[in-house]
Chains A and B, each alone.
Chain A
Amino acid sequence: MIRSRGWPTDLDVASLIANGFQPYAFRDFVFKIHQRCNLACDYCYVYTMGDSSWRDRPMAMAPEVVRAAAQRIAEHAETHRLDEVRVILHGGEPLMVGREGLRATVSELRSAIAGGARLRVAIQTNGVLLDERMLDLLGEEGVEVGVSLDGAPADNDRHRRYADGRGSAAAVERALALLSSERYRPNFAGILSAVDPETDPVGTYEALIRYRPPVIDFLLPHANWNRPPARPGPSLTPYGDWLISVFDRWYDAPVRETGIRILDEILNLVLGGASRSEHVGLSPVTVVVVESDGSIEQVDTLRASYPGAGETGLHVATDSFDDALRHPGVVARQLGVRALAAECLSCPIHRLCGAGHYPHRYSFGSGFLNRSVYCDDLSRIIAHVQSRVAIDLERLSVVG
Protein backbone atom coordinates (compact mmCIF):
# COMPACT_ATOMS: atom_id res chain seq x y z
CA MET A 1 0.00 0.00 0.00
CA ILE A 2 1.33 3.44 -0.92
CA ARG A 3 0.86 5.55 2.18
CA SER A 4 2.31 8.81 0.98
CA ARG A 5 0.99 11.02 -1.77
CA GLY A 6 3.17 13.20 -3.88
CA TRP A 7 5.09 12.75 -7.07
CA PRO A 8 5.28 10.31 -8.83
CA THR A 9 2.19 8.48 -7.51
CA ASP A 10 0.08 10.77 -9.71
CA LEU A 11 2.28 10.38 -12.81
CA ASP A 12 0.16 9.83 -15.93
CA VAL A 13 2.10 6.96 -17.47
CA ALA A 14 -0.48 6.26 -20.20
CA SER A 15 -0.21 9.78 -21.50
CA LEU A 16 3.60 9.73 -21.36
CA ILE A 17 3.63 6.55 -23.44
CA ALA A 18 1.04 7.98 -25.83
CA ASN A 19 3.37 10.95 -26.26
CA GLY A 20 6.35 8.84 -27.21
CA PHE A 21 7.98 7.76 -23.94
CA GLN A 22 9.32 4.23 -24.27
CA PRO A 23 10.22 2.37 -21.07
CA TYR A 24 13.73 0.91 -20.91
CA ALA A 25 13.92 -2.81 -20.24
CA PHE A 26 15.25 -3.98 -16.88
CA ARG A 27 18.84 -5.26 -16.88
CA ASP A 28 19.48 -5.73 -13.13
CA PHE A 29 17.26 -8.04 -11.10
CA VAL A 30 17.84 -7.90 -7.35
CA PHE A 31 16.71 -11.10 -5.63
CA LYS A 32 16.05 -10.84 -1.89
CA ILE A 33 16.91 -14.46 -1.26
CA HIS A 34 17.08 -14.16 2.53
CA GLN A 35 15.24 -11.62 4.68
CA ARG A 36 17.26 -11.90 7.89
CA CYS A 37 20.76 -10.72 8.64
CA ASN A 38 23.47 -11.94 10.99
CA LEU A 39 24.60 -8.34 11.59
CA ALA A 40 22.67 -5.38 12.99
CA CYS A 41 24.29 -2.38 11.25
CA ASP A 42 22.85 0.83 12.62
CA TYR A 43 22.30 2.49 9.21
CA CYS A 44 20.67 -0.42 7.40
CA TYR A 45 17.62 0.59 5.37
CA VAL A 46 16.06 -2.86 5.67
CA TYR A 47 15.68 -2.94 9.44
CA THR A 48 16.24 0.51 10.92
CA MET A 49 14.19 2.89 8.76
CA GLY A 50 10.65 2.15 9.89
CA ASP A 51 9.71 -0.40 7.22
CA SER A 52 9.01 -3.79 8.82
CA SER A 53 7.71 -5.55 5.69
CA TRP A 54 10.62 -8.02 5.95
CA ARG A 55 8.89 -9.54 9.00
CA ASP A 56 5.86 -10.59 6.94
CA ARG A 57 7.80 -12.22 4.12
CA PRO A 58 9.20 -15.76 3.97
CA MET A 59 12.65 -15.92 5.48
CA ALA A 60 14.15 -17.43 2.33
CA MET A 61 13.03 -17.32 -1.30
CA ALA A 62 11.37 -20.65 -2.12
CA PRO A 63 12.60 -22.64 -5.16
CA GLU A 64 9.28 -22.12 -6.98
CA VAL A 65 9.61 -18.35 -6.54
CA VAL A 66 13.17 -18.44 -7.90
CA ARG A 67 11.93 -20.50 -10.86
CA ALA A 68 9.00 -18.19 -11.60
CA ALA A 69 11.19 -15.07 -11.33
CA ALA A 70 13.87 -16.62 -13.53
CA GLN A 71 11.27 -17.50 -16.17
CA ARG A 72 10.01 -13.92 -16.05
CA ILE A 73 13.55 -12.68 -16.62
CA ALA A 74 13.96 -15.01 -19.60
CA GLU A 75 10.65 -13.75 -21.01
CA HIS A 76 11.71 -10.11 -20.47
CA ALA A 77 15.13 -10.67 -22.05
CA GLU A 78 13.55 -12.29 -25.07
CA THR A 79 10.87 -9.61 -25.51
CA HIS A 80 13.49 -6.86 -25.39
CA ARG A 81 16.28 -8.83 -27.12
CA LEU A 82 18.68 -8.18 -24.28
CA ASP A 83 22.14 -9.63 -24.75
CA GLU A 84 22.95 -9.61 -21.03
CA VAL A 85 21.05 -9.56 -17.74
CA ARG A 86 22.38 -9.56 -14.21
CA VAL A 87 20.86 -11.10 -11.11
CA ILE A 88 22.13 -9.73 -7.81
CA LEU A 89 21.59 -12.04 -4.84
CA HIS A 90 20.79 -9.81 -1.91
CA GLY A 91 19.10 -9.75 1.47
CA GLY A 92 19.17 -9.43 4.49
CA GLU A 93 22.30 -11.50 4.24
CA PRO A 94 22.11 -13.71 1.15
CA LEU A 95 24.75 -16.21 2.32
CA MET A 96 22.34 -17.21 5.11
CA VAL A 97 20.52 -19.41 2.58
CA GLY A 98 23.50 -21.77 2.89
CA ARG A 99 25.61 -23.47 0.27
CA GLU A 100 22.92 -25.79 -0.99
CA GLY A 101 20.38 -22.99 -1.16
CA LEU A 102 22.81 -20.89 -3.18
CA ARG A 103 23.68 -23.70 -5.53
CA ALA A 104 20.00 -24.46 -6.14
CA THR A 105 19.20 -20.77 -6.75
CA VAL A 106 21.98 -20.29 -9.29
CA SER A 107 21.14 -23.52 -11.03
CA GLU A 108 17.45 -22.50 -11.37
CA LEU A 109 18.57 -19.18 -12.83
CA ARG A 110 20.98 -20.74 -15.29
CA SER A 111 18.51 -23.33 -16.53
CA ALA A 112 15.67 -20.82 -17.00
CA ILE A 113 17.84 -18.17 -18.63
CA ALA A 114 19.72 -20.46 -20.99
CA GLY A 115 20.23 -19.90 -24.67
CA GLY A 116 19.16 -16.27 -24.72
CA ALA A 117 20.73 -13.40 -22.86
CA ARG A 118 24.06 -13.93 -21.13
CA LEU A 119 23.40 -14.28 -17.40
CA ARG A 120 25.70 -12.70 -14.84
CA VAL A 121 25.09 -13.59 -11.21
CA ALA A 122 26.46 -11.45 -8.40
CA ILE A 123 26.09 -11.52 -4.64
CA GLN A 124 26.39 -8.65 -2.18
CA THR A 125 27.37 -9.98 1.22
CA ASN A 126 28.50 -8.66 4.59
CA GLY A 127 31.28 -11.26 4.35
CA VAL A 128 30.80 -12.86 7.75
CA LEU A 129 29.98 -16.31 6.30
CA LEU A 130 32.40 -16.07 3.40
CA ASP A 131 34.81 -18.93 4.08
CA GLU A 132 36.76 -21.16 1.70
CA ARG A 133 33.93 -23.64 1.20
CA MET A 134 31.52 -20.87 0.34
CA LEU A 135 34.05 -19.24 -1.98
CA ASP A 136 34.70 -22.57 -3.71
CA LEU A 137 31.00 -22.91 -4.38
CA LEU A 138 30.66 -19.32 -5.63
CA GLY A 139 33.68 -19.88 -7.86
CA GLU A 140 32.21 -23.08 -9.30
CA GLU A 141 28.94 -21.31 -9.99
CA GLY A 142 30.64 -18.25 -11.52
CA VAL A 143 29.13 -15.80 -9.01
CA GLU A 144 30.73 -12.34 -8.70
CA VAL A 145 31.22 -11.44 -5.03
CA GLY A 146 30.93 -7.98 -3.50
CA VAL A 147 31.65 -7.45 0.20
CA SER A 148 30.70 -4.58 2.48
CA LEU A 149 33.41 -3.01 4.65
CA ASP A 150 33.53 0.57 5.92
CA GLY A 151 37.30 1.06 6.00
CA ALA A 152 39.68 0.50 8.90
CA PRO A 153 38.47 -1.95 11.60
CA ALA A 154 37.62 0.70 14.20
CA ASP A 155 35.69 2.74 11.62
CA ASN A 156 33.86 -0.29 10.29
CA ASP A 157 32.90 -1.37 13.79
CA ARG A 158 31.29 1.97 14.61
CA HIS A 159 28.30 0.87 12.53
CA ARG A 160 28.71 -2.68 11.25
CA ARG A 161 28.15 -4.76 14.37
CA TYR A 162 26.53 -7.97 15.50
CA ALA A 163 23.32 -7.63 17.52
CA ASP A 164 25.33 -8.12 20.73
CA GLY A 165 27.50 -5.11 19.91
CA ARG A 166 30.64 -6.90 18.71
CA GLY A 167 32.24 -5.46 15.61
CA SER A 168 32.30 -7.40 12.35
CA ALA A 169 35.64 -6.18 10.98
CA ALA A 170 37.74 -9.16 12.02
CA ALA A 171 35.45 -11.64 10.26
CA VAL A 172 35.10 -9.47 7.16
CA GLU A 173 38.83 -8.87 6.89
CA ARG A 174 39.39 -12.63 6.99
CA ALA A 175 36.89 -13.01 4.16
CA LEU A 176 38.49 -10.25 2.11
CA ALA A 177 41.95 -11.72 2.58
CA LEU A 178 40.61 -14.93 1.04
CA LEU A 179 38.60 -13.27 -1.70
CA SER A 180 41.54 -11.13 -2.80
CA SER A 181 43.92 -14.11 -2.89
CA GLU A 182 44.97 -15.42 -6.31
CA ARG A 183 42.65 -18.41 -6.00
CA TYR A 184 39.43 -16.45 -5.51
CA ARG A 185 40.32 -13.15 -7.10
CA PRO A 186 38.55 -13.86 -10.42
CA ASN A 187 35.25 -13.70 -8.51
CA PHE A 188 36.08 -10.50 -6.60
CA ALA A 189 33.62 -7.85 -7.78
CA GLY A 190 34.37 -5.07 -5.33
CA ILE A 191 33.87 -3.50 -1.92
CA LEU A 192 30.85 -1.53 -0.82
CA SER A 193 31.54 1.13 1.77
CA ALA A 194 29.21 3.62 3.44
CA VAL A 195 30.60 7.14 3.81
CA ASP A 196 30.96 8.35 7.38
CA PRO A 197 32.25 11.95 7.44
CA GLU A 198 33.65 11.38 10.92
CA THR A 199 36.23 8.99 9.49
CA ASP A 200 39.49 9.85 7.77
CA PRO A 201 38.70 9.64 4.03
CA VAL A 202 42.23 8.85 2.90
CA GLY A 203 42.66 6.31 5.71
CA THR A 204 39.40 4.66 4.67
CA TYR A 205 40.42 4.49 1.01
CA GLU A 206 43.84 3.09 1.91
CA ALA A 207 42.33 0.49 4.24
CA LEU A 208 40.16 -0.74 1.36
CA ILE A 209 42.79 -0.80 -1.39
CA ARG A 210 44.89 -3.19 0.69
CA TYR A 211 42.58 -5.84 -0.81
CA ARG A 212 43.08 -4.56 -4.38
CA PRO A 213 39.34 -4.48 -5.14
CA PRO A 214 38.48 -3.92 -8.79
CA VAL A 215 35.92 -1.33 -7.68
CA ILE A 216 34.99 0.50 -4.51
CA ASP A 217 31.42 1.69 -4.18
CA PHE A 218 31.25 4.56 -1.71
CA LEU A 219 27.62 5.11 -0.78
CA LEU A 220 26.11 8.15 0.87
CA PRO A 221 24.04 7.09 3.90
CA HIS A 222 20.31 6.75 3.46
CA ALA A 223 18.70 10.10 4.14
CA ASN A 224 15.98 12.37 2.83
CA TRP A 225 14.45 15.76 3.64
CA ASN A 226 12.50 14.29 6.56
CA ARG A 227 15.49 12.38 7.82
CA PRO A 228 18.52 14.50 6.93
CA PRO A 229 22.00 13.04 7.11
CA ALA A 230 24.21 13.61 10.14
CA ARG A 231 26.44 16.62 9.52
CA PRO A 232 29.04 16.53 12.25
CA GLY A 233 31.47 19.43 12.47
CA PRO A 234 31.35 22.95 11.08
CA SER A 235 31.32 22.13 7.35
CA LEU A 236 28.03 22.45 5.49
CA THR A 237 29.24 19.81 3.02
CA PRO A 238 31.00 17.09 5.02
CA TYR A 239 30.14 14.35 2.50
CA GLY A 240 31.35 16.45 -0.42
CA ASP A 241 34.55 17.30 1.46
CA TRP A 242 35.11 13.63 2.28
CA LEU A 243 34.68 12.58 -1.34
CA ILE A 244 37.03 15.34 -2.51
CA SER A 245 39.79 14.04 -0.23
CA VAL A 246 39.29 10.55 -1.61
CA PHE A 247 39.19 11.86 -5.16
CA ASP A 248 42.49 13.72 -4.79
CA ARG A 249 44.22 10.74 -3.21
CA TRP A 250 42.92 8.40 -5.94
CA TYR A 251 43.36 10.77 -8.89
CA ASP A 252 46.90 11.80 -7.93
CA ALA A 253 48.23 8.26 -7.47
CA PRO A 254 50.95 7.28 -9.98
CA VAL A 255 48.82 4.35 -11.17
CA ARG A 256 45.06 3.78 -11.28
CA GLU A 257 44.77 1.72 -8.12
CA THR A 258 41.11 0.80 -8.43
CA GLY A 259 37.80 2.07 -9.73
CA ILE A 260 35.65 4.22 -7.46
CA ARG A 261 32.21 3.98 -8.93
CA ILE A 262 30.74 7.33 -7.96
CA LEU A 263 33.92 9.20 -8.92
CA ASP A 264 34.36 7.26 -12.17
CA GLU A 265 30.80 8.16 -13.10
CA ILE A 266 31.26 11.83 -12.21
CA LEU A 267 34.45 11.87 -14.33
CA ASN A 268 32.58 10.31 -17.22
CA LEU A 269 29.76 12.84 -16.88
CA VAL A 270 32.18 15.76 -16.68
CA LEU A 271 33.78 14.56 -19.93
CA GLY A 272 30.36 14.49 -21.61
CA GLY A 273 29.37 10.84 -21.15
CA ALA A 274 26.40 9.19 -19.48
CA SER A 275 26.34 7.61 -16.04
CA ARG A 276 26.03 3.90 -15.35
CA SER A 277 25.15 4.57 -11.73
CA GLU A 278 21.80 5.40 -10.18
CA HIS A 279 23.59 7.82 -7.82
CA VAL A 280 24.49 10.56 -10.31
CA GLY A 281 23.46 11.61 -13.80
CA LEU A 282 20.27 11.22 -15.76
CA SER A 283 20.54 7.73 -17.23
CA PRO A 284 17.37 5.63 -17.03
CA VAL A 285 17.42 3.27 -14.06
CA THR A 286 16.90 -0.33 -15.17
CA VAL A 287 16.82 -2.15 -11.85
CA VAL A 288 13.96 -4.11 -10.32
CA VAL A 289 13.68 -6.09 -7.10
CA VAL A 290 12.09 -9.48 -6.44
CA GLU A 291 11.22 -10.01 -2.78
CA SER A 292 11.48 -13.42 -1.10
CA ASP A 293 7.72 -13.96 -1.55
CA GLY A 294 7.88 -13.14 -5.28
CA SER A 295 6.58 -9.57 -5.02
CA ILE A 296 8.04 -7.26 -7.65
CA GLU A 297 9.33 -4.06 -6.09
CA GLN A 298 11.06 -0.90 -7.15
CA VAL A 299 14.57 -0.37 -5.87
CA ASP A 300 14.39 -1.42 -2.24
CA THR A 301 16.40 1.48 -0.79
CA LEU A 302 13.12 3.38 -1.25
CA ARG A 303 12.06 1.76 2.01
CA ALA A 304 14.26 4.31 3.72
CA SER A 305 11.74 6.94 2.52
CA TYR A 306 8.54 5.57 4.03
CA PRO A 307 7.00 2.14 4.65
CA GLY A 308 5.75 0.60 1.44
CA ALA A 309 7.49 3.13 -0.81
CA GLY A 310 8.94 0.42 -3.03
CA GLU A 311 5.78 -1.61 -3.56
CA THR A 312 4.29 -2.12 -7.01
CA GLY A 313 1.44 -4.54 -6.19
CA LEU A 314 2.85 -6.98 -8.78
CA HIS A 315 4.04 -10.56 -8.34
CA VAL A 316 6.19 -12.83 -10.50
CA ALA A 317 3.49 -15.55 -10.46
CA THR A 318 0.90 -13.30 -12.10
CA ASP A 319 2.68 -10.32 -13.62
CA SER A 320 5.49 -9.80 -16.07
CA PHE A 321 8.40 -7.43 -15.66
CA ASP A 322 6.90 -5.48 -18.55
CA ASP A 323 3.94 -4.75 -16.25
CA ALA A 324 6.40 -3.26 -13.76
CA LEU A 325 7.87 -1.06 -16.50
CA ARG A 326 4.59 0.87 -16.51
CA HIS A 327 4.54 1.53 -12.77
CA PRO A 328 4.78 5.30 -12.02
CA GLY A 329 7.68 4.77 -9.61
CA VAL A 330 9.66 2.86 -12.23
CA VAL A 331 8.82 5.30 -15.03
CA ALA A 332 9.81 8.24 -12.82
CA ARG A 333 13.35 6.89 -12.64
CA GLN A 334 13.59 6.54 -16.42
CA LEU A 335 12.42 10.02 -17.32
CA GLY A 336 15.78 11.74 -17.06
CA VAL A 337 15.48 15.49 -17.00
CA ARG A 338 11.68 15.28 -16.89
CA ALA A 339 11.91 13.85 -13.36
CA LEU A 340 13.75 16.86 -11.97
CA ALA A 341 12.28 19.53 -9.71
CA ALA A 342 12.29 23.15 -10.90
CA GLU A 343 15.20 24.02 -8.61
CA CYS A 344 17.31 21.30 -10.25
CA LEU A 345 16.29 22.33 -13.76
CA SER A 346 17.73 25.77 -13.14
CA CYS A 347 20.94 24.33 -11.70
CA PRO A 348 23.89 24.49 -14.12
CA ILE A 349 25.13 21.02 -13.23
CA HIS A 350 21.82 19.18 -13.38
CA ARG A 351 22.94 16.97 -16.28
CA LEU A 352 25.84 15.74 -14.17
CA CYS A 353 24.19 15.54 -10.79
CA GLY A 354 20.75 14.41 -11.93
CA ALA A 355 19.46 15.31 -8.42
CA GLY A 356 21.54 12.45 -7.04
CA HIS A 357 20.11 9.19 -5.78
CA TYR A 358 16.32 9.11 -6.05
CA PRO A 359 15.54 8.12 -2.41
CA HIS A 360 17.58 11.10 -1.22
CA ARG A 361 15.03 13.47 -2.82
CA TYR A 362 12.06 12.36 -0.77
CA SER A 363 10.06 14.79 1.31
CA PHE A 364 6.72 14.06 2.90
CA GLY A 365 3.98 15.72 0.87
CA SER A 366 5.89 16.51 -2.31
CA GLY A 367 7.29 13.00 -2.72
CA PHE A 368 10.39 12.70 -4.91
CA LEU A 369 10.14 15.93 -6.90
CA ASN A 370 12.85 17.75 -4.95
CA ARG A 371 16.56 18.36 -5.11
CA SER A 372 18.73 15.88 -3.25
CA VAL A 373 19.19 16.27 0.48
CA TYR A 374 22.89 15.95 -0.47
CA CYS A 375 22.61 18.81 -3.01
CA ASP A 376 25.42 20.93 -1.56
CA ASP A 377 27.70 17.91 -1.14
CA LEU A 378 27.06 16.76 -4.70
CA SER A 379 27.64 20.18 -6.19
CA ARG A 380 30.88 20.47 -4.24
CA ILE A 381 32.38 17.17 -5.40
CA ILE A 382 31.18 17.66 -8.98
CA ALA A 383 32.62 21.18 -9.17
CA HIS A 384 35.92 19.86 -7.81
CA VAL A 385 36.15 17.08 -10.39
CA GLN A 386 35.20 19.53 -13.14
CA SER A 387 37.95 21.95 -12.22
CA ARG A 388 40.65 19.29 -11.85
CA VAL A 389 39.75 17.71 -15.19
CA ALA A 390 39.60 21.07 -16.94
CA ILE A 391 43.11 21.94 -15.77
CA ASP A 392 44.52 18.60 -16.92
CA LEU A 393 42.75 18.61 -20.28
CA GLU A 394 43.97 22.08 -21.08
CA ARG A 395 47.52 20.72 -20.96
CA LEU A 396 46.86 18.04 -23.57
CA SER A 397 47.31 18.60 -27.27
CA VAL A 398 45.20 17.26 -30.08
CA VAL A 399 47.31 14.77 -32.08
CA GLY A 400 45.20 13.82 -35.01
Chain B
Amino acid sequence: MSETTGAPDSAETRGDAVPDVTRIPLSQLEPAENPVLEAAIRRLVDEVTDGREVTAQFGNSP
Protein backbone atom coordinates (compact mmCIF):
# COMPACT_ATOMS: atom_id res chain seq x y z
CA MET B 1 0.00 0.00 0.00
CA SER B 2 1.35 3.42 -0.89
CA GLU B 3 1.94 5.41 2.29
CA THR B 4 1.17 8.66 0.54
CA THR B 5 -1.92 7.76 -1.45
CA GLY B 6 -3.26 4.76 0.44
CA ALA B 7 -3.65 3.01 -2.91
CA PRO B 8 -2.42 -0.54 -3.51
CA ASP B 9 1.15 -0.74 -4.73
CA SER B 10 1.49 -0.87 -8.47
CA ALA B 11 2.85 -3.95 -10.20
CA GLU B 12 6.01 -2.02 -10.97
CA THR B 13 6.85 -1.18 -7.36
CA ARG B 14 5.48 -3.99 -5.25
CA GLY B 15 8.11 -6.55 -6.17
CA ASP B 16 11.06 -4.21 -5.74
CA ALA B 17 10.53 -3.24 -2.14
CA VAL B 18 11.82 -6.46 -0.57
CA PRO B 19 15.06 -8.39 -1.03
CA ASP B 20 15.00 -11.68 -2.90
CA VAL B 21 15.06 -14.17 -0.02
CA THR B 22 15.21 -17.12 -2.39
CA ARG B 23 18.97 -16.48 -2.67
CA ILE B 24 19.49 -17.26 1.02
CA PRO B 25 20.78 -20.83 1.68
CA LEU B 26 17.85 -21.94 3.83
CA SER B 27 19.30 -25.32 4.79
CA GLN B 28 22.30 -23.60 6.38
CA LEU B 29 20.42 -21.09 8.49
CA GLU B 30 20.29 -21.19 12.26
CA PRO B 31 16.75 -22.07 13.43
CA ALA B 32 14.36 -19.15 13.20
CA GLU B 33 12.86 -17.94 16.46
CA ASN B 34 9.53 -17.51 14.76
CA PRO B 35 7.87 -20.98 14.83
CA VAL B 36 5.78 -20.37 11.71
CA LEU B 37 8.77 -19.26 9.69
CA GLU B 38 10.89 -22.09 11.08
CA ALA B 39 8.24 -24.65 10.04
CA ALA B 40 8.06 -23.08 6.58
CA ILE B 41 11.83 -23.27 6.14
CA ARG B 42 11.93 -26.91 7.30
CA ARG B 43 9.08 -27.82 4.99
CA LEU B 44 10.83 -26.33 1.99
CA VAL B 45 14.20 -27.86 2.83
CA ASP B 46 12.49 -31.26 3.20
CA GLU B 47 10.65 -30.83 -0.08
CA VAL B 48 13.83 -29.96 -1.93
CA THR B 49 15.72 -32.87 -0.30
CA ASP B 50 12.85 -35.23 -1.06
CA GLY B 51 12.81 -34.09 -4.69
CA ARG B 52 9.17 -35.02 -5.21
CA GLU B 53 7.10 -33.42 -7.92
CA VAL B 54 4.85 -30.76 -6.40
CA THR B 55 1.37 -30.37 -7.82
CA ALA B 56 -1.56 -28.22 -6.76
CA GLN B 57 -4.24 -29.98 -4.76
CA PHE B 58 -7.97 -29.51 -4.56
CA GLY B 59 -8.55 -26.22 -2.79
CA ASN B 60 -12.05 -26.79 -1.53
CA SER B 61 -11.12 -29.73 0.60
CA PRO B 62 -9.68 -30.82 3.91
A residues sitting closer than 8 Å to B (CB atoms) are 24, 27-28, 30, 86, 88, 90, 122-124, 144-146, 189-190, 192, 215, 217, 219, 236-237, 240, 250-256, 261, 264, 267-268, 270-279, 281, 283-287, 299, 301, 333, 343, 346-349, 357, 376, 379-380, 383, 386-387, 389-390, 392-394, 396-400
Contact = CB atoms under 8 A, between A and B. Distances in A.
Contact of A396 (B15, B16, B19, B32): B32
A379 B11 contact: yes
Contact of A349 (B14, B47, B53, B62): B14
A390 B18 CA distance: 7
A28 B53 CA distance: 14
B41 to A, nearest CB: 7
A278 B59 contact: yes
A283 B9 contact: no
Contacts of A272: 21-22, 26, 44
Contact of A192 (B15, B19, B48, B62): B62
Contacts of B44: 268, 271-273
A217 B25 contact: no
| Most B C-beta atoms less than 10 A away, residue of A28, A123, A333, A394 | A28
Contacts of B21: 270-272, 386, 389-390, 393
Nearest to B22: A272
B35 A256 contact: yes
Q: Which 7 A-B pairs have the closest CB atoms?
A: A348-B15, A146-B62, A189-B62, A272-B22, A274-B54, A286-B55, A283-B56
Contacts of A267: 36-37, 40
A397 B60 CA distance: 38
B4 interface: no
Interface string B22-62: 10111011101011110111011001100001111111111
A264 B36 CA distance: 9
Interface of B: 1, 7-9, 11-12, 14-19, 21-22, 24-26, 28-30, 32, 34-37, 39-41, 43-44, 47-48, 53-62
B30 A397 contact: yes
B30 to A, nearest CB: 5
B1 to A, nearest CB: 7
Task: Summarize A's interface: helix, strand, loop or mixed.
Answer: mixed
Contact of B28 (A30, A254, A274, A398): A398
Given A284-B56, A286-B56, A392-B37, A380 B1 contact: yes
B47 to A, nearest CB: 6
Contact of B17 (A86, A286, A383): A383
12 contacts: A28-B61, A237-B1, A264-B43, A272-B22, A285-B55, A346-B11, A379-B11, A379-B14, A386-B18, A393-B32, A398-B29, A398-B30
A273 B25 contact: no
A228 to B, nearest CB: 15
B58 A278 contact: yes
A146 B30 CA distance: 35
B17 to A, nearest CB: 7
A281 B54 CA distance: 11
B62 A287 contact: no
B54 A283 contact: yes
Contact of A251 (B37, B47, B53): B37
Given A124-B62, A379-B9, A393-B24, A277 B34 contact: no
A251 B37 CA distance: 8
A144 B57 CA distance: 15
A268 B43 contact: yes
